[in-house]
Amino acid sequence: MFHHVKELQFNARVSKPDVRFAKLLLEQFGGPNGELKAAMQYFVQAFGCRKAYPAEYDMLMDIATEEFSHLEIVGATIQMLLTGVNGELKNAADESDLNKMLDGKAAKENYIHDAMINPHFFLVSGGTPTLTDSVGNPWNASYIMGMGDLTADLRLNIGAETSAKMVYENLMKFTDDEYVKESLRYLMTREVAHFQMFQAALEGIQPNFPPGILESDPRYSNKYFNMSKGDDFKGPWNEGRSPELKEVWQVIEDPLQHVRATNGLLDEKSKGTERTDATVQQHNKKLSAERKTTVEAATRPENGVMSWSVYEESLQAKSNQNHKG
C-alpha cells in the first residue's frame, strides 16, 4: 500500500530556468542509472524474499519507496528548470516569446537543434519531464537487474548505487545553480547511504560467497591467466591469497602452453587450496538443504491458504472477539 505525501522528501529549489540542464537531468529521471530504475529494481527484487527474508524485504521496500520519492524530486526540479517553457510552447500566436523566455542564453537555432536531438522532450511532452534519458531513449524494463538470489541481488544493488552516485557527481559539473547543486548533493549522498545499507545486509547473510548456492570448482578458482604480454603487474588479484576463498593464487604465465598441456584444462589439478571436489559437493548439498528449508518453512500454506500480509488490527479484533465469547 502506497500513501503519497505531497511535500517532497527534500525541499528542491531552483534559482532560474535552465532548459539545457533540465534535459541533462532527464538521465536520472528515465535513464538506465536513474531513480525509476532503482525504485523498480529494488521493488521487484523484494517480492522474492518477502517470507524467507522478511528483514531484507522490509529494507528493499523502504529503499525502493525512497527511490520513488527521489524520482519526484528529480521530476520537480526538471519542471522548475523548465519554468516558462510549458506556457510558451502553448503560445502559438507569438513565436518570438520563446526566445525572450530563453533570456538570450540559447539562440533559436540551438533550441531547434536540441529539439531535433530529443523531440519528445521539447515537442511532444509540452515542456514536462519525460521517461527518457537525456537523449530521448525511452525507459525500459531491461534496465532492471535481479537474479532471484538475495546475495546476488544485493551485489547488483551496490553496483546500481555506485553508478547513480557517479552520474550525480557528473551532473553537478554542468550547473552553476547552487540550489540545484544542493538537491543533487542530497540525492548523491543518499546513494552512498543506500550503498552501505546493501553492503551491511549482504554481510549479514552467511555464507554469501560465491553468490547463489554452488561453490566453485577448486581446480580453477585460484588460477590467474596472464593473458597479455608487456608490463606485468602484481597485486592482491594475483599474489597472496584470494580475498574470499583464501586460496593461494596460481599464476599461469603461458596460458596457451598450459591449456595444451592440460588437454584444454580437463586435466587441471587443484593447487594452493584445501578445497577438494568432495568437500565442494558436501558444502553444496548442505547449503542447498538450508536454503530450501528456509524458503519452504517461510512459504508453507496455513490451513491450505497462502496469505501475503498479516493485518495486525484484524488479528487483534478476532482475538478480542474470542476472549469476549
| Helix residue ranges per DSSP H, 82-149 | 85-89, 96-101, 108-117, 119
d(CA 61, CA 55) in angstroms, rounded, equals 10
Determine if residue 113 is labeled as part of a ligand binding site. Answer: no
Determine if residue 31 is labeled as part of a ligand binding site. Answer: no
Q: Which amino acid makes up residue 70?
A: H
Give the residue among 31, 69, 63 at the shortest CA–CA distance from 168.
31
Determine if residue 222 is labeled as part of a ligand binding site. Answer: no
Determine if residue 95 is labeled as part of a ligand binding site. Answer: no
Determine if residue 228 is labeled as part of a ligand binding site. Answer: yes
Determine if residue 70 is labeled as part of a ligand binding site. Answer: yes
Cα within 13 Å of Cα(13), Cβ side: 6
The C-alpha cell that represents 261 in the structure block: 598441456
Strand extents, DSSP E, the chain = 223-225, 250-252
Q: Are 62 and 46 contacting, i.e. CB atoms less than 8 angstroms apart?
A: no
Determine if residue 87 is labeled as part of a ligand binding site. Answer: no
134-169 burial: b if 16+ Cβ within 10 Å, else e: bebeebeeebbbbeebbbbbbbbbbebbeebbebbe
3-state secondary structure of 178: helix
Residue at grid coordinates 576463498: 245
The neighbouring-strand residues paired with 302 are 305
How far lies 220's CA from each of 109, 214, 265, 275, 306, in Å?
59, 14, 9, 11, 44
Determine if residue 67 is labeled as part of a ligand binding site. Answer: yes
Determine if residue 58 is labeled as part of a ligand binding site. Answer: yes
- Residues annotated within the binding site are 35, 58, 62, 67, 70, 161, 194, 226, 228, 230
- Residues annotated within the binding site for Ca(2+) are 58, 62, 226, 228, 230
- Residues annotated within the binding site for Mn(2+) are 35, 67, 70, 161, 194
